[in-house]
Amino acid sequence: MASRSVAVIGNGIIGHGVAEVFAKAGWRVTLIGRSEASLKNALAKIGDSLAAFVSHRLVSEEERGNALSRVKLSTQLDDARGADFVIEAVPEDMALKRAIFERLETICGSETVLASSSGHLVSELVEGRRGERVVAAHFWYPPQLIPLVEVCGGPETLPSVVARTCEILKEAGKEPVVIDKEVPGFIGNRIQFAALREAWSLWASGIASAEAIDAVVRNSIGRRLGVTGPIESADVGGLDTMVAFARFLQPSLDAAPLPPPPLDQLVASGHRGLSSGRGVYDWTQRDGARLLEARREELFRWLKADRTGHGASKKS
């Protein structure tokens, strides 16, 4: 198969991760960013990430070098011209995203798929235009370690574009899941934030400590959901039992439209979490680096299981 090309617009944590995914899969990649310095930094991060794949014996040193050689850096949006697949991964600035897609529709050939990795809906991105070949391809962080990509077209997106996007993502080693109708947050974030809303509520109301809440999730549903999804779990547990319990429990679940005030107070005080040293937890008393490394190692373990056909994403 002839080498094909992808243009990745944006070189932040999602952008350079997506570039790595395609470069590792044999695609020629044009990584487009605002400055040469930030692009060189992104390329260095790709190299470091690929080195971790080498240390885990998921790629060879030769494959790492080949992948890096496939990445071209550019500060010019027009260098997306000629790519088979273009994916936008810039910050969540709607005006910027719309301007990018308007330009891409002008410079890219009619057969080029134009995708966005953001959580915004296609109908928002192409407001005022038809957008037949624009599709959401929502990667999860870190893109090189999380298999899922949520794929969702807009009202005018051609079904063939959605299908082609899924084909491309599978060729790149990802697990695309098609969402049939546009909905804010797609699937994953809606489920994640439903759980997070309840967790925050339990903490803010003093029902349980953050440590207790996280321990419960890690040592119960956190393990199970990696094998059986929520609807599978309900079927396995018995719908009669689960529906009866839902009728009892759901009326008492938190339904607040906004996060609880203690969280707003933390953010207003500059306590943003690990990055600032304090959030709900006091990170000056916890080893955040060790926690992130443990999470990364667990994600690598899942990837290895996927390679051998024993991972959750490979089950029938």
The dihedral of CA 181, 186, 188, 193: what is its sign?
negative
Distance, in Å, from the CA atom of 199 to the CA atom of 142, rounded to the nearest integer, reads: 23
Distance, in Å, from the CA atom of 183 to the CA atom of 120, rounded to the nearest integer, reads: 9
pLDDT of res. 309: 78
pLDDT of res. 159: 98
pLDDT of res. 315: 58
Helix intervals (H) in the chain: 13-24, 36-55, 61-69, 94-107, 122-125, 159-171, 188-204, 210-218, 221-224, 230-237, 239-249, 261-268, 288-307
- Domains of the chain with CATH codes: 5-178 (3.40.50.720), 188-314 (1.10.1040.10)
Amino acid identity of 75? T
Q: Are 67 and 59 in contact (CB under 8 A)?
A: yes
Q: Is the peptide bond before 142 cis (omega within 30 degrees of 0)?
A: yes
Which one, of 47, 59, 5, lies nearest residue 304 by Cα?
A: 59
pTM of the entire structure? 0.94
For 107, residues 6+ apart whose C-beta sits below 8 A from its C-beta are: 77, 78, 80, 81
Helix axes 36-55, 13-24, angle to 10 degrees: 50
pLDDT mean values, one per 10 residues, the chain (316 residues): 86 98 98 98 98 98 98 98 97 95 95 95 91 97 98 97 98 98 97 98 98 98 95 97 98 97 98 98 97 97 88 60
Q: Residue written as tokens 């990364």?
A: 296
Which one, of 245, 272, 289, 296, lies nearest residue 142 by Cα?
A: 296
Supply 97's token pair.
């995203």
Supply 146's token pair.
């999380």
pLDDT of res. 298: 97
Which one, of 20, 307, 228, lies nearest residue 139 by Cα?
A: 20
pLDDT of res. 310: 67
pLDDT of res. 290: 97
Q: Are 130 and 101 in contact (CB under 8 A)?
A: no
For 220, residues 6+ apart whose C-beta sits below 8 A from its C-beta are: none
Supply 32's token pair.
């487009």
Supply 58's token pair.
């998921």
